[in-house]
Structure 1
Amino acid sequence: MNDDKNVKAASRKPIIPKKKTALSLLVGALSVAAGQSHAVDVDAGDYTALPAGTNLAMVYYQYADRDRLYSDGDRVPIDAGLESHVGILRGVHFTKIGDYIVDPQFLLPFGHLEGKDDTKSLGDADGLGDLILAATVWLVNKPETNTYFGITPFVYVPTGTYDHDDALNLGENRWKFALQAGYITGLTEKVFLDIAADVTVHGKNDDFGANKDTLKQDPLFQVQTFLRYQLRENLDLRAGLSHTFGGETEINGTDQDDRSRTTKMTIGSGWFVTPSVQLLANYGRDLSVENGFKENNRFNLRILKAF
């Protein structure tokens, strides 16, 4: 479902390799904690097309702790810490336009962020994240073979809580646009493969940091894949891998050499406790990080109600 600032605790010269400053290290790192991931994370099964007229109401809770900071693949030798508690309200409506199922939707993040240990000087933040508007168009919709292919544009509206004097913010103070394609197919009667890929382009933030600098960012790319095993008709097990790359930032025209290259894993389960209510629980962590904070633990919970 990802801007970022300075931290005095990481500004000592022996800590920062090469020509990077504490600011350039954290530009890419903190936005992950801003309530909206840089890239567009999905859950396995999200690209299943439902019948026109179906509505979904969802509430997410996401907790993550980050205990390491990386620069060019090397750990920065400080006791870094960043914790986030993020909720998301999401509403989806499935309709039919011509021959295609389409699902206009919104996502509204909110939450709490807090720096820990040597990065405690980041402080904390509470508020709303940026409103996200989206709509998937299914170009392939074959429920008889569990095969689906859809394309989703996302627009991130800069409505979230933001203060250029604060090191942590829930909002990013910039427009963003993402385009994602998702594919699902049944490998067997009980095993399903999900694949999604997306690119995010960023508007500029011209009120970045205490000096109101101009922050720009290159496009960010992500590829995600999941396997699901249907234990019972209403219960599945799932595992996934994701790789994000790109997204180098520049401040006032100076490249920050902070491109993203992160690989993460998730495992979890989805359970329909009734035909119209699903509980979803996932655990994940980063496997490798080139620049920025590394997530040690992430817990994602979701409750879905169809009506």
Structure 2
Amino acid sequence: MPFMSSFGKITPASSKQRFLCLATATIASLLLSSGNANAVDIDAGDYTALPPGTNLAMGYYQFATRDSLYSDGDKAPINARLDSHIGILRGVHFTEIGGYTVDPQFLLPVGKLEGKDDTSGLGDASGVGDLILAATVWLVNKPESNTYFGITPFLYLPTGSYDRTDALNLGENRWKYALQAGYVNGITPKISLDLAADVTVYGDNDKFGSTNATLEQDPSYQFQGFLRYHLSSQLDFRAGVSHTLGGETSVNGTDQDNRISHTKITVGTAWSATPGLQLMANYGTDLSVDNGFKEQHRINLRVLKAF
């Protein structure tokens, strides 16, 4: 079938060309489905409520390399590669509203994306991503039993760097809304379970590609789970799995047949160097991807300062 690229409608003459067109036509959605700075992703412990009046300043760094490209579960016969260096600045304030703990927060991504090898034609992009506003409301807050349940609405503002003539962009030129529920339970004094589920609804990008096409996207859904083993009150090891589905896009009403089905795993550790300073390091990889780039390696680092 034909694919819509940023240069118009193209009928691929070969399998290789078909996949290159796919990479260009759907990059805006595929980047997020591959885990780039996706704010709905959680780290184990994120749904632990802290006392009202606590402030958190956090800095994230993520490096990811993707070495293959898929369409409908088939791997492209090309040497595809997409690297990303993403940082996120995050500020959180815990307060109490109507007897509930709430944490208004913001997240600001910055970074660089770069296509390489046979997908070097995607070019590169650097700059600021879309500003994200969020606030968790804890409906269950039982620190004595390490049990928490919260709901978080996210609002993504189209403030990031965006150029409709570029295949790669840090910003998306569209509004997005997400609703997430998260649960933490201390199964034993040494083992904790973290679960989260969310839905993301996408606004339209009416400046997609050089022809000012309209990019639409169906809602996507994500399910995440982590187990943490606490060696001490300062050190834990964690492992998790995440699955994302949905999110098929259309360009000017033409379905792109790129529904997300994406499973990834993460392992890592978190260490509280002092009562107010925590360091975290995670390693992840994609297990399966139906459409889009597949991550070979992903490294996430986080510094958290409480005050």
What is the aligned partner in structure 2 of residue 225 from structure 1?
225
Query: Which whole-Å CA distance do the structure 2 matches of 1:268 and 1:246 have between them?
Result: 28
Gaps of 5+ in 2: none
Alignment map for 1:140-289 (pairs within 5 Å): 140-289=140-289
The secondary structure found in structure 1 opposite 2:30 is helix
Task: Determine whether 1:139 maps to 2:150.
Answer: no
The letter for the 2-side match of 1:36 is: A
Give me the whole-angstrom Cα distance separating, in 1, the residues matched to 2:191 and 2:111: 35
Deviation of the 1:103 alpha carbon: 0.1
- CA offset at residue 31 of structure 1? 3.8
* Shift in Å, 1:14: 2.3
CA deviation string 1:8-57 (max 9, x = no partner): 9x955223679x855445453234579533x7100000000000000000
Instruction: Name the CA distance, whole Å, in 2 between partners of 1:211 and 1:221.
Output: 30
Quote the residue 1:111 is aligned against. Answer: 111
CA deviation vs aligned residue, 1:155-195 (integer Å, no higher than 9, x gap) = 00000000001111000000000000000001101100000
Classify 1:7/1:194 alpha carbon distance in 2 versus 1 (closer, same or farther; 3 Å): farther
Deviation digits for residues 205-247 of structure 1, max 9, x if unmatched? 0000111100000000000000000011100000000000000
Are the aligned partners of 1:220 and 1:247 in contact in 2 as well (CA < 8 Å)? Answer: yes
Report % sequence identity.
65
What is the TM-score normalised by the length of structure 2?
0.93
Provide, for residues 240-284 of structure 1, a one-character-per-residue CA deviation record: whole Å limited to 9, x for no partner. Answer: 000000000000011111000000000000000001000000000
Structure 1 residues 91, 132: closer, same or farther in 2, change over 3 A?
same
Q: Is residue 220–residue 246 contact of structure 2 (8 Å, CA) maintained in 1?
A: yes
Give the 3 Å change call, closer, same or farther, for CA 131–23 of structure 1 in structure 2.
Answer: same
CA contact (8 A) 2:52 2:101 kept: yes
What is the SS of the residue equivalent to 1:189?
coil
RMSD: 2.1
Partner amino acid, structure 1, of 2:170: L
Do 1:33 and 1:113's aligned partners in 2 also have CA atoms closer than 8 Å? no
Q: Which residue of 2 aligns with 1:30?
A: 31
Structural mapping, 1:66-81, within 5 Å: 66-81=66-81
Q: Scaled by the length of structure 1, what TM-score is found?
A: 0.93
Q: 1:48 to 1:271 in 2, by over 3 A?
A: same
The size of the alignment, in residue pairs, is 301
Partner amino acid, structure 1, of 2:81: G
